[in-house]
Chain A
Amino acid sequence: MDPDLILLLNGIVSGLLLGGLYAAAATGLAVSFGMLDIVNIAHPALMVMGAFTVVLIGTALGLDPLLVAVLQAPLFYLLGVLIYGVYHHFFEKRGEEALQGLAFFFGVMFIIEVGLVMAFGPEQRFLDPPYAFITWRLGEIDLPLRMLAPALLALAALGALHLYLKRSFTGLAVAAVAQDAEALRLMAVNPVRIKRLAFGLSVALASIAGGALVVVQPVDPSSGQIFIGRVFAICIMGGMASLPGCLTAALLFGVVENVTATFYGPSWSPAVAFGWLLLVLAFRPQGLFGRMA
């Protein structure tokens, strides 16, 4: 096979796998930022916190990091409920959620980062499952399980969330609260309760993303910083509240980054990936799968 074609195919496949990690990181934000309009800039920090607890629990109990991530998700749901409670009480209720709410989540981000440094130290932490060192080879295509397993978990989580939002009453209420909270109140549904639930879900998804992250790479308390720009860009590119859009944008981001890095050098990757974002927004301001207001 032509060497350039092999490079291209591998670039696309590794980009899709990387996109899987991005999807894991961005899905929770698609709920909080996309549906609830809460600019949770601390989402990547919560993901890293999830990664640290995965390392802690997984090491102590000898469990697979992805399994731990799923098992600890309910605790992160409760943490999300708590964070939303504080945010709602001090900012949203007073109508000060725009700027002060953003400052609040900045604060949460710094507290998490410093808290992790104090609790675990600044060193890199890791928890490598045995399959992290295995690479499947399909002809000329490499499939490292280190990337494949987290991508599959991300797809499963995203699929489950999509079904929940489409098929359950509370799921539909979450979608409704994103469109018109007052109308929801007229239907005798408390929008605050629905938002609390949805925000809890978004933080639970950060836990799952943390498990995916720790399989892909070692983490340190500041690891979340490199994801902030990407996850927000993916959310916007996908169309804010659209989960299929979020997945498509994440995969596109991964593929564009890796193919660019392979052929034109990694320095161009972020520029080209964010260039795609601008291009998409120029032709579809509502994002790939978003609806015009």
Chain B
Amino acid sequence: MDPFTRRQFGRLSLAAAIAGAGQVAGVFPALAQGANPIRIGFAMALSGGLAGNGRATLLAYQIWAQEVNAKGGILGRPVQLVFYDDQTQPGLVPGIYTKLLDVDRVDIVTSPYATAMIAPAMPVVMQRNVTFLTIFGAGVNEAFKYDRHFNMNVVGDDMKETYAAGYFEVAAMLPTPPRSIAIAAADNEFAQKAGESARYHARKRGIRVVYDRSYPPSTVDFTPIIRAMQSARPDLVFIASYPPDSAGMVRAANELRFTPAIFGGGMVGTQLASFQSQFGPLLNNLVTWDVYSPEPTMNFPGVAAFQAKYRELAPREQTDLLGNYIPPYAYGQMQALEQTLTRVGKIDQAAMAADMHAQEFDTIVGKFRFSALGEWAEARNLYVQFQGITDNDLERYKRPGAKVILAPSAYKSGALRTPYGAAG
């Protein structure tokens, strides 16, 4: 066989690129032929560690685009999504955004999911002065202070102040005031900020920190962490973790019969169907950060209809089956974009940014405004508790009662049960 020449390789690459582009356009084949669509570009984790939430976000965007196009588009133009898989590799993100803005010449850019992927896109976006709608970032703009950044997340402006406030609000519900806390946080930006918030609130309330460690994302066995926490005998446990770690922590706590008054924190993953299906009753009394629960206090107009549509498509798209976490917010983010474009009447980056700073948005995740930093002006970090879980059936998570909201008080839907590990 002849060796592969550089020219042959180039031809093969070109063919692959054309095939790939076809696949992107194939998401909306009719639109690919449509006249002058509004092109919304973004990178998204469709493979790699963050792909679970990345794919769910994409599906929510696609549902929105389909609905908008069925209604005749925005400003009389159809919308078209132009997206690339960032493979959960931050190093690929700047190149993708350079291509989206300079080669594809998209009209609007939104962000990948989430903090670690948004940050590398910021310099590229800022250099070109475009309005940037981000999804589930955590304090990214604290460093950049870019006035055209708008983040769809409940965390709010000052993560240290807002993130763990609800957890300590829940801790105050304990019959005996807690005296000590153990904190474990993954070595990544989001988890470290979450841990910092827990530390800050513990100090503020005079609660002694008896264990405070970070752990690398490559950790396989979490029993040493839980055992070390257990030996410190804390009343409260705050863990800031990503999905595989959250699973390891819950497993280890169960194996070691660890029963602090409150166990939980900012455990990403517990919001997802796969996690809930795996752990079932082991989740009882876990108190964790969340963004949405189908409780009566969060029954915003349109959210049930969106979720019904999402849940119909999720099995085929092989993404989170419930859509209780990021999808309503991803859809709401696009609703906010739609409202801005309709008000501004044209694609004008400066005018869009000014509008987003000035106006209130009404979406399926409620009404909100953006602050000067582009975060939600009023934070809404929920702390929910799993209650009454008897099996691994996911149906219960579509109804009220399985994930009871304990904080903030405006959304409270039930009472705290304690300790962790007791029957729910």
Find A18's partner among B213, B220, B257 (CB 8 Å cutoff): B220
Find B52's partner among A11, A133, A142, A220 (CB 8 Å cutoff): A220
Binds A, one of B114-122, B242-250, B330-338, B357-365: B242-250
- Residues on A with C-beta less than 8 A from B275 are 124
Roughly how many angstroms separate A90 CA and B3 CA in the complex, as a whole number?
Answer: 10
Residue of B nearest to A132 (CB): B251
Find A270's partner among B213, B214, B216, B274 (CB 8 Å cutoff): B216
Binds A, one of B60-68, B138-146, B221-229, B369-377: B221-229
Roughly how many angstroms separate A142 CA and B243 CA in the complex, as a whole number?
Answer: 25
- Decide if A122 touches B47 in the complex (CB within 8 Å): yes
Interchain nearest-CB distance for A59 vs B (Å): 12
Interchain nearest-CB distance for B265 vs A (Å): 16
Is A146 part of the binding interface, using a Cβ–Cβ cutoff of 8 Å? yes
Some 9 contacts from A to B, beta carbons below 8 A apart, are: A14-B227, A117-B51, A122-B319, A133-B254, A144-B255, A146-B251, A217-B248, A218-B247, A220-B243
Find A125's partner among B187, B220, B228, B274 (CB 8 Å cutoff): B274
Q: How many B residues are at the interface, by size bracket?
A: 35 or more
- Residues on B with C-beta less than 8 A from A125 are 274
Is A179 part of the binding interface, using a Cβ–Cβ cutoff of 8 Å? no
Interchain nearest-CB distance for B393 vs A (Å): 15
Is B88 part of the binding interface, using a Cβ–Cβ cutoff of 8 Å? yes
- Residues on A with C-beta less than 8 A from B54 are 122
- Decide if A146 touches B224 in the complex (CB within 8 Å): no
Is A261 part of the binding interface, using a Cβ–Cβ cutoff of 8 Å? yes
Find B228's partner among A7, A123, A257 (CB 8 Å cutoff): A7
- Decide if A265 touches B223 in the complex (CB within 8 Å): no
4 additional A-B residue pairs with CB within 8 Å, beyond A11-B224, A117-B51, A262-B228 = A123-B319, A261-B224, A265-B213, A267-B216
Given contacts A135-B255, A142-B256, contact A220 B221 (CB under 8 A): no
- Residues on A with C-beta less than 8 A from B47 are 113-114, 117, 122, 221-222
List CB contacts (< 8 Å) of A224-265 with chain B.
226, 229-230, 254, 257-259, 261-263, 265
- Residues on B with C-beta less than 8 A from A142 are 223, 255-256
- Decide if A223 touches B216 in the complex (CB within 8 Å): no
- Decide if A124 touches B247 in the complex (CB within 8 Å): yes
B interface residues, Cβ below 8 angstroms from A: 1, 45-49, 51-52, 54-55, 88, 184, 187, 213-221, 223-225, 227-228, 231, 243-244, 247-248, 251, 254-257, 269, 272-275, 278, 282, 317-320
Roughly how many angstroms separate A265 CA and B228 CA in the complex, as a whole number?
Answer: 9
- Decide if A123 touches B255 in the complex (CB within 8 Å): no
- Residues on B with C-beta less than 8 A from A146 are 251, 255
- Residues on A with C-beta less than 8 A from B220 are 18, 21, 216-217, 226
- Residues on A with C-beta less than 8 A from B318 are 120-123
- Decide if B225 touches A261 in the complex (CB within 8 Å): yes
Interchain nearest-CB distance for B191 vs A (Å): 12
- Residues on B with C-beta less than 8 A from A147 are 221
Interchain nearest-CB distance for A134 vs B (Å): 9
Q: What 4 A-B pairs are tightest by C-beta distance, nearest first?
A: A121-B318, A122-B51, A266-B215, A261-B224
- Decide if B215 touches A261 in the complex (CB within 8 Å): yes
Interchain nearest-CB distance for A247 vs B (Å): 17
- Indicate the member of B248, B282, B318 with the most A CB atoms within 10 Å: B318
- Decide if B278 touches A218 in the complex (CB within 8 Å): yes
Given contacts A123-B274, A220-B244, contact A144 B49 (CB under 8 A): no
- Decide if A267 touches B274 in the complex (CB within 8 Å): no
